[in-house]
Chains A and B, each alone.
Chain A
Amino acid sequence: MDIIKTYLDNIFATLPRTETVLRARNELQASMEEKYRALKAEGKSENEAIGSVIAEFGNIDELIAELGIGPADQTEEEPLLDQTTAAQFQTVNKRSARMIGSGVFCIILGVAAMFLIRSATATGWSEVARGVASLMPLFVLVAVGVILFVIAGFSLDKYEWLKQGFRLPAGLKSELEQQQEQYRPTFTALIVVGVGLCILSPTALFLSTILTVLKPGNGLAIMLAMVAIAVYLFIQAGMTQDGFARLLQQGEYVRSGKYARSGKNSKAEKITSAVASVIFPLATVAYLLMGFLGGLWHPGWLIYPVTGILFGAFSSIVKAVVDK
């Protein structure tokens, strides 16, 4: 049966994926499979059955003429994705995932280091020396994180065209689908471990504030380190999965008819990402101000979860309103 599917995949590979074409393909497949089953039921061997079905397929040009479709008009507008490019994209995507993940990890670790150093220098240090000692590693780590983001962004830029629409050969498609299927357990495992770490992370805080086993700053640092690891795992899982989605044109990368994805859902995305790029740095500025001017490091960190929740609510509303 798979032979019939592969045969049709290859025949239809160069045709535009319009509704008419997909319908024709499904009808032909259903009919061919029925013929195949009937031949097998008559006692024909696998080879004989497949042989007859394919011999009686006919000529795709006849269908192309009848349905009024041509591969030619698409060849010009949409590039064909080949195996090498797909493999290169996956390599770059994986490397960028590691870079972005490490970048975020560095930044969160910078904040953790700041708390750690502040609690280690609580006695016998002047406030200025404490500030310098705790902020130095933060700035260095943030700088490293930003550099990693920029490099990752540049290397992924080259594959921006994948968002615009391209033709995916059938053989490559089934290969990628297989890879995606194989990746699924890893994806789930990464998410589960990440969520587990996030859930467990407040324990460190709990140990420090309530049981006072740890100094508060140390507890906070441990919690942040756990969150940093979780975020790294989320980014790995998410970007790898997103790479498959992009190559297979699934989810937000799906194409309607022969045209690239609609701009509707990207409009909501544009708004939310614009707001995100302002709101989170603002939260950081507010947090640093509260910390340095008011010494409110401890309850002040609540600004992050609060911002996160508000932003989540905001982006859902934007999505609902814009996509209405």
Chain B
Amino acid sequence: MISSDVIRGYNDTIILSLLLEAPSYGYDISRTIRQRTGEKYIIKETTLYSAFSRLEKNGYIDSYSGTESQGKPRTYYRITAAGRQYYCEKCAEWNLTQEVINRFVKE
């Protein structure tokens, strides 16, 4: 399990990358993150919603309401053009970060 402190700066990147594949909703995103990381990272509900709220405020994603199979309303999120650009910037930032940190990390 990864600590939420360490990964904090990259929750937005993770979510944007998933929304880049397809529009999605809260539970689906948290499930996908859990599955893809082999349960090494489980995003908390409050972290996920905070990220949605922040990304939407900055115009990187927008939300619309849809319905789930049982007919309950559900909020979906999709990435915007600004979001795609921001995602690319974050990827570049991560590559740089990784390169720097790797110099100091022993295998």
Give the B-binding residues of A (Cβ under 8 A). 24, 27-28, 30-32, 34-35, 38, 56-60, 62-63, 65-67
Residues of B contacting A65 in the complex (Cβ-Cβ under 8 angstroms):
50
Answer yes or no: B95 CB below 8 A from chain A CBs: no
| Chain B residue at minimal CB-CB distance from A29 | B45
Q: Which residues of A contact B73 (CB under 8 A)?
A: 30
Asked whether B27 lies within 8 Å of A63 as measured between CB atoms, the reply is no
Report whether B72 and A35 are in contact in the complex, using a CB–CB cutoff of 8 Å: no
Q: Counting CB contacts under 8 A, is B36 at the interface?
A: no
In this complex, what residue of B is CB-closest to A31?
B26
17 interchain pairs, CB-CB under 8 A? A27-B26, A28-B45, A28-B46, A28-B49, A30-B27, A30-B74, A31-B30, A31-B45, A34-B74, A35-B31, A56-B30, A58-B44, A59-B44, A59-B46, A60-B46, A62-B44, A67-B53
Chain B residues with CB under 8 A of A31? 25-27, 30, 45, 48-49
Query: Closest A-chain residue to B25, C-beta based?
Result: A31
- Seed contacts A30-B74, A56-B45; 17 additional CB < 8 Å A-B pairs: A24-B53, A27-B49, A31-B27, A31-B30, A31-B45, A31-B48, A35-B31, A38-B31, A58-B4, A58-B44, A58-B45, A59-B46, A63-B46, A63-B50, A65-B50, A67-B50, A67-B53
Are A66 and B27 also in contact (CB < 8 A) when A57-B44, A57-B46 are?
Answer: no
Q: Is B47 an interface residue (CB 8 A)?
A: yes
B75 in contact (CB, < 8 A): yes
Are B30 and A24 within 8 A (Cβ)? no
Bound form: Cα–Cα A56–B44 in Å: 5
CB <8 Å contact, B49 and A24 = yes
Q: A30 near B45 (CB under 8 angstroms)?
A: no
Number of B residues contacting the other chain (C-beta, 8 Å)?
22
Name, among B4, B30, B44, B74, the residue most crowded by chain A CB atoms within 10 Å (CB to CB).
B44
The answer, yes or no, to whether B42 is at the interface (CB within 8 Å) is yes
**A149 CB → nearest B CB, Å:** 49
- Report the Cα distance A67→B46, complex, angstroms: 11
Q: Are A66 and B26 in contact (CB under 8 A)?
A: no
Would you call A35 and B27 a contact (CB within 8 A)? yes
Q: Mark B34-66, 1 if CB is under 8 A from A, else 0.
A: 000000001011111110111000000000000
B68 interface residue per 8 A CB criterion: yes
Minimum Cβ distance to chain A for residue B45 (Å): 5
Query: Known contacts being A27-B26, A31-B30, A38-B27, is A62 close to B74, with CB within 8 Å?
Result: no
B30: chain A residues at CB < 8 Å are 31, 35, 56
